[in-house]
Amino acid sequence: MMLSVSVFVSAVAGYGTRTVYADTRREGDIVYLDSEITDVSDDTVNEWAMEAGLIEEPVDSESICTKMDLIRVLWFRNCSPEYKADALTTKIKDVSKEDIYAALWAYKNGISALDAQKNFNPDTQLTHGDVLQTLWFVNGKPVVSNEITGFVDLDTSSTYYLAVLWAADQKLLIKDEKANFDGSAACRMIDALRYVYYLYHVRSTFPITKTQFLEACEGVTVQAREGNYHYGDSDATPPTTDGFISCDRLVAKALWDLGYTDQTPGGFANGHEDMFPYLLDHGFVQSFDIADVGYGSIVCTSSGQYGHTFVLVSWDQETDTVIRYDEGSEARIHAVQPLQEGWNGGDFLCVFNIPDE
């Protein structure tokens, strides 16, 4: 099937109406929709994926994506959690030692199943439908509120039907001019990476601004101070409503107040193991470059590993002082914020930013 789109017009909040052009492509190729450009080259996708630490070297443009290829990329993107206890009790027969934690992560989180013989089947080649379904699983299988219609050949009984509707709603793809989408076509690895690129890197809109986030942080600090909260790990829903707050719960409650109510009980109850994947899944941009620290940044610091979080208002590098929101101690909780404190960046681990507005 040849996918040929001559002109496709779409209105997206924040960008207005734009025209998207696409050349005739080869069988199995998908037409992608980006917020500003009509297409992204294989080189751009490869470069982004390498910089993001998802792949070590450029992928061959003709290679077909396997189950392990995709799971490995998504595992890296979700901060490479290692389920060491599960590795002792859950035996997966056909996965290499290097990939065992990625496979366990996918299995434990309901992203991929094992067969009756406890095989992961890592070399299974994936279709476009398979890839979209996996991304849908990773994102919690969200229900599309306004069903996308008009696909003339999308079988409602297909295993990837809901995933494709979600992908279209997320603007990961558009149907061709004949309203065709062939989810059974083999998916090249570069196309699987392109889905990931569009989903997590390219955003046509972002639901909150940096200023709104900082205002929400200030509101949380006022609640904590006036409510005589104490430093500790909140297990409540919404987070902090049990009277306990900490540095990561500040971020969780500020986001909750802005509409991010799909958090687990207590917000980020497991610290960075909850916070990092959550922020990435919701479009925040992670960077390990201290030069990316700025207004509205969620700054993560360490002493060899993750240890603390604060939200930055400003940083004077000449005097090594920051203006920040920080609920990381009893004294901070009871102080009027934002606080002015010393920080030279020496313990910087990473930063999460709202995409530029």
28 contacts: CB under 8 Å, gap ≥ 6: 128, 182, 185, 186, 187, 188
291 contacts: CB under 8 Å, gap ≥ 6: none
pLDDT at 70 > cutoff 80: yes
Residue ranges, CATH 3.90.1720, the chain? 210-353
Cα angle: 166, vertex 170, 175; to 5 degrees? 75
pLDDT at 85 > cutoff 80: no
Q: How confident is the model at residue 148 (pLDDT cuts 50, 70, 90)?
A: low
| pLDDT of res. 130 | 95
Q: Which of 3-12, 91-100, 151-160, 254-263 is least confident?
A: 3-12
pLDDT at 273 > cutoff 90: no
pTM of the model: 0.55
87 contacts: CB under 8 Å, gap ≥ 6: 100, 101, 104
Cα(327)–Cα(309) distance, integer angstroms: 9
- Token pair 């109850």 is found at 269
| pLDDT of res. 331 | 96
| pLDDT of res. 189 | 96
Architecture field, domain 210-353: Alpha-Beta Complex (3.90)
Give the model confidence (pLDDT) of 314-340 as tens digits: 999 999 999 999 999 999 999 999 999
215 contacts: CB under 8 Å, gap ≥ 6: none
| pLDDT of res. 357 | 52
- Kindly state the tokens that stand for 269: 């109850």
Q: 316: which DSSP letter?
A: E
pLDDT at 147 > cutoff 90: no
Cα(122)–Cα(142) distance, integer angstroms: 26
- Residues 260 and 246 sit within 8 Å (Cβ to Cβ): no
Give the model confidence (pLDDT) of 107-138 as tens digits: 988 899 999 898 999 999 999 999 999 999 98
State the average pLDDT over residues 41-63: 90
**SS3 string of 116-156?**
CCCCCCCCCECEHHHHHHHHHHHCCCCCCCCCCCCCCCCCC
User: For the chain, percent helix, then strand, then coil, each to nearest 5?
Assistant: 30, 15, 50
How far, CA to CA in Å, does 74 sit from each of 128, 133, 135? 16, 13, 9
| pLDDT of res. 221 | 97
Phi, psi of 18 (to 5 degrees): -140, 160
How far, CA to CA in Å, does 345 sit from each of 52, 83, 251, 297, 303? 22, 31, 20, 13, 12
| pLDDT of res. 27 | 35
Cα(262)–Cα(242) distance, integer angstroms: 18
Averaged pLDDT score across all residues of the chain: 80
Q: How confident is the model at residue 265 (pLDDT cuts 50, 70, 90)?
A: confident
